[in-house]
Amino acid sequence: MKLALASLLASSASAFGPSTSPPSAHARKPLRGFWKLNPQTKEEALTFASGIASAITDSTPDVDVALFVPYVFIESTMSVVGGKLSVGAEGVVPHSSGAYTGGISTSMIKSVGVDWVLAGHSERREIFGETDYYINAQCLKILDEGMSVMLCIGESLAEFEADLAGSVCATQLKKGLKGVRKEDLDRVAIAYEPVWAIGTGEVATPEIAQSVHAKCRDILAGMYDQETANMIRILYGGSVTPDSIDDLMAMPDIDGALVGGASLDIKNFGMNWVKS
Ligand code: PGA
């Protein structure tokens, strides 16, 4: 079972405060998401979360770190990170109550202190059949509950090879954020995760990632306005490692990373991922 660990250092409100900054390099406060760490037990999850938290010190650059964890580990993870990280959930059902056996609602996870929830990961889309319509309902429910959502988008290999990355992301953004009010966008982050890069070792080049991120920002500007689009953080995910993260983060429209497999290297995880 994959463990999705992710988080936020500062409060989401200050982290996402309105900005009039031009879209220069990292006008947006960098957000680092860490996830799919795969520990199989609570003990391993807690060891890992403690290690990440201890790597964040007063001299750590001002980045937000989020740990998205399976429901069963949320509260115990919160108890060991000492408020240095924000602990999020890997998903929700878009229903408040009723006959949805096995589902976890937004009010349930909010009641244990969760601020952030993932939606739209390609594995949820592919394996669990979550559609853009369903993902949109999740986003709206998460925002209605007062929490923040990280909406994952990205094209398949066939779509990438057919030069359809931009149009796929446009569709997923427009459908995923349908009905999301402009005033709620300070609680939205986007994760561009090309499916062909997830878990494959085939990290997108900084130039490819930057190009799609810039397109995503243009799409958001069209959906809302440029100032709003400039404020929204767009993370890259897909085979990011300590070797590739700095070049990715040097790109003007890449505001953070969602890290899966590489974050299993606990020794490297802390300092190498939060250093810049
Ligand atoms: P990966 O996973 O870093 O193992 O490619 C990324 C993701 O699925 O978000």
- Determine what percent of the chain is predicted with pLDDT higher than 90: 62
- The residue whose CA has the least distance to atom 3 of ligand 1 is 260
Report the distance separating Cα 14 and Cα 16, nearest Å: 5
Low-confidence ranges of the chain (pLDDT < 50): 1-26, 271, 275-276
Q: Please state the atom number of ligand 1 nearest to the C-alpha of residue 152.
A: 9
- The residue whose CA has the least distance to atom 7 of ligand 1 is 260
**Residue 124 pLDDT:** 94
**Residue 1 pLDDT:** 27
**Residue 64 pLDDT:** 82
Report the distance separating Cα 79 and Cα 8, nearest Å: 15
Query: 3-state secondary structure string, 145-174?
Result: CCCEEEEEECCCHHHHHCCCHHHHHHHHHH
β-pairing, 188-192 with 148-153?
parallel
> Which residues are near ligand 1 (CB < 6 Å)?
35-36, 193, 198-199, 237-240, 258-262
Q: Please state the atom number of ligand 1 nearest to the C-alpha of residue 259.
A: 3
Report the distance separating Cα 90 and Cα 234, nearest Å: 18
Choosing from 38, 156, 198, 234 the residue with most ligand 1 atoms within 8 A of its CB, the one to mutate for a pocket test is: 198
Per the annotation, the verdict on 213 as an active-site residue is no
> 239 C-alpha to center of ligand 1: Å?
5
Q: What secondary structure does DSSP assign to 41-52, as a single string?
A: SHHHHHHHHHHH
**Residue 269 pLDDT:** 56
Report the distance separating Cα 275 and Cα 238, nearest Å: 19
**Residue 259 pLDDT:** 84
**Residue 102 pLDDT:** 93
> 149 C-alpha to center of ligand 1: Å?
18
Task: Give per-residue pLDDT as tens, 119-143.
Answer: 999 999 999 999 999 999 999 999 9
Report the distance separating Cα 192 and Cα 153, nearest Å: 5
**Residue 188 pLDDT:** 96
- For residue 88, give every residue at least 6 positions away whose Cβ sits within 8 Å of its Cβ, in sequence order, or none: 6, 7, 8, 66, 67, 68, 69, 114, 115, 116, 117, 118, 150
**Residue 13 pLDDT:** 25
Whether the pTM exceeds 0.85: the reply is yes
> 241 C-alpha to center of ligand 1: Å?
10
Active-site residue among 26, 121, 123, 155?
Answer: 121
Q: Please state the atom number of ligand 1 nearest to the C-alpha of residue 33.
A: 9
